Amino acid sequence: MYRYLIKRASAVMEALPYLLKFHGKTIVIKYGGSAMTQEELKEGVIQDLVLLKYVGLNPIIVHGGGHLVTKYLKRKKIETKFVCGLRVTGKRVLEAVEKVLGGKINRDIVRMIKKSGGKAKGLYGKKGKVIKARKLWIKSDKGKWVDLGYTGRVVGIRYRYLRKLMKRGYIPVISPLGVGEKGKRFNINADSAASAVASFLKAEKLILLTDVRGVLDKKGKFISEVDADKIKRMIKSRAIRGGMIPKVKCGLEALASGVEKVHIIDGRVPHAVLLEIFTDHGIGTMVVK
Residue pLDDT, tens place only, 35-76: 888 888 999 999 999 999 999 999 999 999 988 999 999 999
Count of CA atoms in the C-beta half-sphere (13 A) of 205: 28
Are the beta carbons of 50 and 118 closer than 8 angstroms?
yes
Residue closest to 35 by CA, chosen among 267, 284, 272, 283: 267
Whether 5 has a pLDDT exceeding 70, the answer reads no
Q: Which 3 state secondary structure label does DSSP give 60?
A: strand
pLDDT band per the 50, 70, 90 thresholds, residue 1: low
Contact 126, 183 (CB under 8 A): yes
Residue 208: strand, helix, or coil: strand
The pLDDT tens digits of the residues spanning 180-228 come to 999 999 999 999 999 999 999 999 999 999 999 999 988 889 999 999 9
Closest CA to 193 of 103, 272, 102, 289: 102
pLDDT at 168 over 90: yes
pLDDT at residue 175 tops 80: yes
Name the architecture of domain 22-288.
Answer: 3-Layer(aba) Sandwich (3.40)
d(CA 220, CA 192): 26
* Residue 161 near residue 128, CB atoms below 8 Å: yes
Single out the residue of 116, 87, 284 nearest to residue 188, CA to CA: 87
CA atoms within 13 A on the CB side of 85: 11
User: What is the predicted pLDDT for the residue at 205?
Assistant: 97
Q: 51: closest CA among 157, 171, 138, 146?
A: 171
Reported as a single tens digit per residue, the pLDDT across 64-112 is 998 899 999 999 999 888 887 789 999 999 999 999 999 899 999 999 9
Gap between the Cα atoms of 264 and 248, Å rounded:
8
How are beta strands 205-210 and 171-174 bridged, if at all? unpaired
Instruction: Say what the pLDDT of residue 34 is.
Output: 81
